[in-house]
Structure formats: C-alpha cells, structure tokens
Chain A
Amino acid sequence: DTGVSQNPRHKITKRGQNVTFRCDPISEHNRLYWYRQTLGQGPEFLTYFQNEAQLEKSRLLSDRFSAERPKGSFSTLEIQRTEQGDSAMYLCASSFPTGENTEAFFGQGTRLTVV
C-alpha cells in the first residue's frame, strides 16, 4: 500500500495526558499537511510542511500542539495536556506540487477521544 498511513487509527486518553500521532506520507511527496475534523464539519487546516520545514501554522494550533517532520519524510503531531475539546479526527495529507495547486492525498485519520 503506497497511500498515506496514519497511526494509531484510534486513541482514547484521559484529560491532561500527552498524545502523539504519526503520519507516513506517500513516498517522495514533499508537502505534508495536518487537518482536524470534528463531527459534521469539514477538515480545518492546522499546519503544513515543505520537506522538513514547517511553513505555516493555523491559529487553531495552540501552544499545546506541536508538529515535526525531522527528515522530511514522516511527521508527528503531539498534543500536550489534552482537553476534551481536542477530541476530533486528525487527518494527514501529502502532495507533490507540480504547480501552485495540486490535489492532496489523505490518510484514514486518527480519531482522538479525550475522556
């Protein structure tokens, strides 16, 4: 399978705990995105990387959130001191731009439940 892979698929954690999610993009895709999706809503942009450089972060991404892409391949998204409002589906996507605009390919997401 050469699609975008996300792990874990599901995570249940207690409020106040830290969690980390991993995304493996399609090989050779140099752009990697993180989105958050809550029930009944479309995905909301969190951040994106061009290779290992984090180029933009949404205001949605509070100080408790941090993302890395250390070698320009896989990426991790960490949430510290989780809150119930963090419960959502976290989606990762990757792309290989051939111009200013190109499609993104999404993983199956990590569903986070904070109890």
Chain B
Amino acid sequence: GDSVTQMEGPVTLSEEAFLTINCTYTATGYPSLFWYVQYPGEGLQLLLKATKADDKGSNKGFEATYRKETTSFHLEKGSVQVSDSAVYFCALSNFNKFYFGSGTKLNVKP
C-alpha cells in the first residue's frame, strides 16, 4: 500500500543553519506530495505541495522537489529561525486519501 517514510528526529540546529529533512514515498499511480507543519497543541498547517514530477513547492523559505526517479520529496531551508521549531510531516495524497510520515521534530536554538 501507499506509505511515507521520513527521517526520525529530533533534529537540533542553530539559528541560520541549513535544514534538510528527508522524505521518501511508496505509491501507485501519480500522487501529490505535501509538507505539513504542526506547532504544539495545534492541528496541521500546509507548508508546501507539489502535484507532479519535477515540480518544486516553496513557501516561507522552505522548498521541496518532487523526484519521481528517487521517490523522494526532501524538505530544505537555507537558514532556519527559532520560529521554525515545530514538527514537520511529509504526506502524499492518492485516490482521495492522505498518508503521513511519522513526523520530524525540529528544534532551532538561538
């Protein structure tokens, strides 16, 4: 079945460091891919998305490219801020359902 695998956390970085959170997926057909962010005690907020191969999603300095050949959708940011501290979920949408990874907690220290 469809599934998403993302790197385990927590990831601890200093402010202005470069961020990569790895995500790979397994799916039939042509899924859409997403990154969601969750702050403590809150629901999930859409961060960015890509709907087809080679698309790049971007928002708030975060980027991810849909790589069909490697079935990956890695999240990157060039310079993280303390306010980026949260849990990040990689997800795919296929045939009306969403599948999520287990989440990666990011801690950014001043």
Interface stretch, picked from B68-76, B77-85, B98-106, is B98-106
Q: Name B98's closest neighbour in chain A (CB-CB).
A: A104
Would A48 and B96 count as touching, CB distance under 8 A? yes
Would A43 and B100 count as touching, CB distance under 8 A? yes
Would B93 and A103 count as touching, CB distance under 8 A? yes
Would A102 and B93 count as touching, CB distance under 8 A? yes
For B, the interface residue count at a CB cutoff of 8 angstroms equals: 27
Which residue of B96, B102, B103 is within 8 Å of A56 (Cβ)? B96
Which residue of B31, B36, B95, B102 is within 8 Å of A41 (Cβ)? B102
Classify the secondary structure of B's interface with A. Answer: strand
Binding site for A on B (CB under 8 A): 4, 30-32, 34, 36, 41-46, 49, 51, 89, 91, 93-103
| Other A-B pairs beyond A45-B97, A93-B98, A103-B32, 15, CB < 8 Å | A4-B43, A31-B96, A40-B103, A43-B100, A91-B43, A101-B30, A103-B46, A103-B49, A103-B93, A104-B46, A105-B46, A106-B44, A106-B45, A108-B41, A109-B43
Sample 13 A-B pairs with CB under 8 A, ordered by A number. A40-B102, A41-B103, A42-B4, A42-B89, A42-B103, A45-B99, A48-B97, A102-B93, A103-B49, A104-B46, A105-B46, A106-B45, A108-B41
